[in-house]
Structures are given as C-alpha cells and as structure tokens.
Amino acid sequence: MEIFEHPACGIVEFRLLGPVEARSDGRRLDLGHLRERLLLAVLLVAGGHAVSTERLIDRMWDENPPGTCRDLVHSYLNKLRRHVGGDGGMLPRHDGGYRAVVDRRQVDLHRFHDLVESARELDRNAGREAGIEAVRLYRAALAQWPAEAVGTQGGEPLAGLPGRWAANYRHTLREEHRSTLIACLGAELRCGEHDRLIPELAHLVGVDPPDEQIACMLMLAYYRAGRRAEALQTYQIVRQRLVDEIGSDPGPGLVRLHQQILDEDDALHLPPDQTGANMTTPDDHAGDNGTETLAADAVRLIAEAVRAGRTGEAGSGPRSELVERVRVRLSDDRADEAALAWVERNPGDSEMLERLRRVIMAYLVRDDSFAVEVRRLVRPEPKAESTGRGVTINAKTIKNAQVFNEKVEVTGDLRIGNS
C-alpha cells in the first residue's frame, strides 16, 4: 500500500496508542470532534479492510444511533477527508462501506503489532542470538506507545473516545501491552540480563497494582544476581500487598518460586553460557555524554541534509555521506531502518528525531568502526587551504598533533590547545 501524504505537509503518521492524532512534519492535524476521531479510529484499526456502514454506526453509537446516523457518518467522513487533505483517496467507499487506505507503517498500532509478531517468532527459536534480537524488537514495539504508557497498564489508548467499542478495544490493547512487556522481560532474563533488569522490575512492582508475573521476575533476577535476601523480601512485600489491595493470597507460581529460592534450587540458575555481557540497549549508556552528544549531532545533521535535499541544496558533502552511512548500517534491521525513513519523510518531527537518536546511540555503543566513521563525518578535522602565501586555516580549534610544513596564516576565532 502506498504511503499517504498530506498535500501541504507531507507524510502523515496516525496515532491510536494514546490520544487519536494525525501528525505531519511535526505538526498535529485537526481531526475534528470526538465522533470524527472515533470514526477514523475504527477505520484505521481495520487495517485497510472495508467496514460496513452498519458496523460503523454500531461502533459509534452502540444501541442508540440517532435517526440521522447514516447522514452523520457521511458528513463525518467528508470532514475527515478535508482534515487530512487529498481528494478522498484515503477514505474511499468500498463494498458498501468505507476503508482507510494507509500504509501500515504510518499507524503506530500496526507498527506495534508487526514488531511484536516478528519478536515472538524469534523468541520461539532457541539460542541467545535469537533471544537478543527478539528483545530488541519487543523494545521497539513498546517504544511505539506514548511515554505515559508506563508499567503494565499501557496508559490510555484511544484516549477519550466514547462508546462500548472504544472501551473494549482499549482494554484489549492494554492487555497486549502488558503481555508484550512481560514477554520482553522474560526474554531478557533468559539472555542473562538479570542485573540490568532489577531497577526496571523493582519500579514495575512498586508502581502498578500487584502483578505476580512481574514479582516472580524480580525475585528471580535478585536470586540470579546473588541477592537472595532481597528476593525473599520481595515475596513478603508482594504477599502483603496482595492481601491488602486485592484480598487474596499469592498464586501457586509465586509460592513455588519462593520455596525454590528458600531451597536454593539449582534449576533457578541459567546455563553457564547464558551471560549478559554482549547485550546492550541505548539506556545502558545513558550516562555516556560523549556518545549521547555524538548521536544527537548526527541526527541534527541528518535532518539538515534532508531539508537541504528538499530545497535542492544537497550535495556530496559530509551530511549526505552521513545519511548514506547510517542507512547502510541500519539496512539489515527493519525497525531501525524505519526510524531513519520516518526522519527522511518528517525531518521536523521531534519524536521521530528522538527515536532515531536512540537507535544511532545503540549502534555507536556496540560498533566501534561505525562510531569512528560517524565521528569523522559529524566532526571533520579542519582543512588547510593554499593561498599562495602559505596556508590559511579556517577553524575554531587546532589540535596539538596537527603539523603544517608551510607558513600558516590563521583566520577566524582560533584556540590552540588540548581538545
């Protein structure tokens, strides 16, 4: 399916995993009132399949549609077409109903589902490498959700939309978010990432209503990290919360794990080769200011290169070379490549720029040769230009190790010293 573009703003991204929104070039498009957004959400959820007028009416008004409901559906669709632009090709009539002709990559919900499907397929395979890749895809899927969707509750997808259909689907999406988060955490534990996961798991246990699966993971992570006392303490805390907040005792899984920890059961340990030494994520290196700054500078230059290309100013300089180098490095990974593609379509979208920054930072951390190339393109060494009278250098800094064998004429705001 072709990418849908707003005639004035460019590529449109639709969001359903929080408030229903449409954004283009970093700007939010007006989608009208709640009923119009509800109608758009129903069509986008259908993923390009036709939705009959009768089903639209049922999902918009439950059992109490107004007598003019068919006219209202037609009116809302016309308004939506004006809101998103175009000649109506995005919301055509089809087989007695309507459908949204939008590429799946333009809808956060469908990106989430596609990434989860790919992750689960890898997660079914044995082996640490497949597990690491599954975790990366799970994390990419969870990143489609707004920042407010913390913990296992999944925030509020389809936020504010009225009616039974929206409420039921909101509940379904929250459950999908929870199951994806638990699958991701489980895969990371199997990859030997217990030490790194402890802060996240402890936070999840603390902020959400008691979740026994999360509690089991935290206890297991503590135990594998050699913190048996904290694992046992976690059980007591969660057990008391279950009694106080829900009025129930711990389930059999939590009780069994508690007993295994008391017994120091060897079955709780990972095989010797399942270590976490080779697995990294952007957040692992959040304190590395040099890497963070380099990634941020790279994204800024990529956005500048995209804008220059649109105005006919692009050339073969470092900015264009940087875009191509990043594209090649990300080409083997669908989710990461998509982050670059979205910035190329929407260089003004701050959320897309942040997503690409995190992707690039992850590669900078684990790929030294890529980091060297990016640094070369982002921060090129000052170049010397011959003037006939010696060498003219236009630069703010000359490193001590740089040597010139001719008379040097200096221009610009120059500082000589250690960089």
Taking all residues of the chain, what is their mean pLDDT, rounded to a whole number? Answer: 83
Q: Does 416 score more than 60 pLDDT?
A: no
| 182 and 56 part of one domain | yes
Shared domain for 339 and 225, answered yes or no, is no
Structural domain includes residue 73: yes
Quote the domain boundaries for residue 394: 384-416
Give the pLDDT confidence score for residue 284 in this predicted structure.
42
pLDDT confidence band for 162 (50 / 70 / 90): very high
Does residue 97 lie in a domain region?
yes
Question: Residues 337-360: what's their mean pLDDT?
Answer: 81
Structural domain total, the chain: 4
Residue 194: pLDDT band with limits 50, 70, 90: very high
Is residue 166 situated within a structural domain? yes
Q: Output the domain CATH number for residue 227.
A: 1.25.40.10
Q: Is the pLDDT of residue 4 over 80?
A: no
Does 139 map to a domain? no
Does residue 408 sit in the same domain as residue 364? no
Residue 74 lies in a domain: yes
Instruction: Give this prediction's pTM.
Output: 0.68
Q: Are residues 271 and 286 in the same domain?
A: no
Instruction: Please tell me whether residues 153 and 41 are part of one structural domain.
Output: yes
SS3 letters across the chain: CCCCEECCCEEEEEECCCECEEEECCEECCCCCHHHHHHHHHHHHCCCCCEEHHHHHHHHHCCCCCCCHHHHHHHHHHHHHHHHCCCCCCCCEECCEECCCCCHHHEHHHHHHHHHHHHHHHHCCCCHHHHHHHHHHHHHHHCCCCCCCCCCCCCCCCECCCCHHHHHHHHHHHHHHHHHHHHHHHHHHHCCCHHHHHHHHHHHHHHCCCCHHHHHHHHHHHHHCCCHHHHHHHHHHHHHHHHHHHCCCCCHHHHHHHHHHHHCCHHHCCCCCCCCCCCCCHHHHCCCHHHHHHHHHHHHHHHHHHHHHHCCCCCCCHHHHHHHHHHHHHCCCHHHHHHHHHHHHCCCCHHHHHHHHHHHHHHHHHCHHHHHHHHHHHCCCCCEEECCCCEEEECCEECCCCCCCCCEEEECCCEECCC
One domain for residues 35 and 114: yes
Q: What is the pLDDT of residues 17-31, one digit of tens each?
A: 999 999 887 788 999
- End position of a domain, from candidates 278, 293, 323: 278
Looking at the structure, tell me whether residues 171 and 62 fall in a common domain: yes
**Residue 130 belongs to some domain of the structure:** no
19/77 same-domain check: yes
Q: Domain for residue 402, yes or no?
A: yes
Same domain, yes or no: 18 and 36: yes
Residue 138 lies in a domain: no
Please say which residue of 235, 263, 278 terminates a domain.
278
Q: Are residues 231 and 303 both part of a single domain?
A: no
**Could you tell me if 290 and 236 lie in one domain?**
no
Percent of the chain surpassing pLDDT 70: 80
| Final residue in a domain of this structure, among 278, 309, 326 | 278
Which CATH number characterizes residue 8's domain? 1.10.10.10
The top-scoring range by mean pLDDT among 4-13, 135-144, 364-373 is 135-144
Residues 211 and 69 in one domain: no
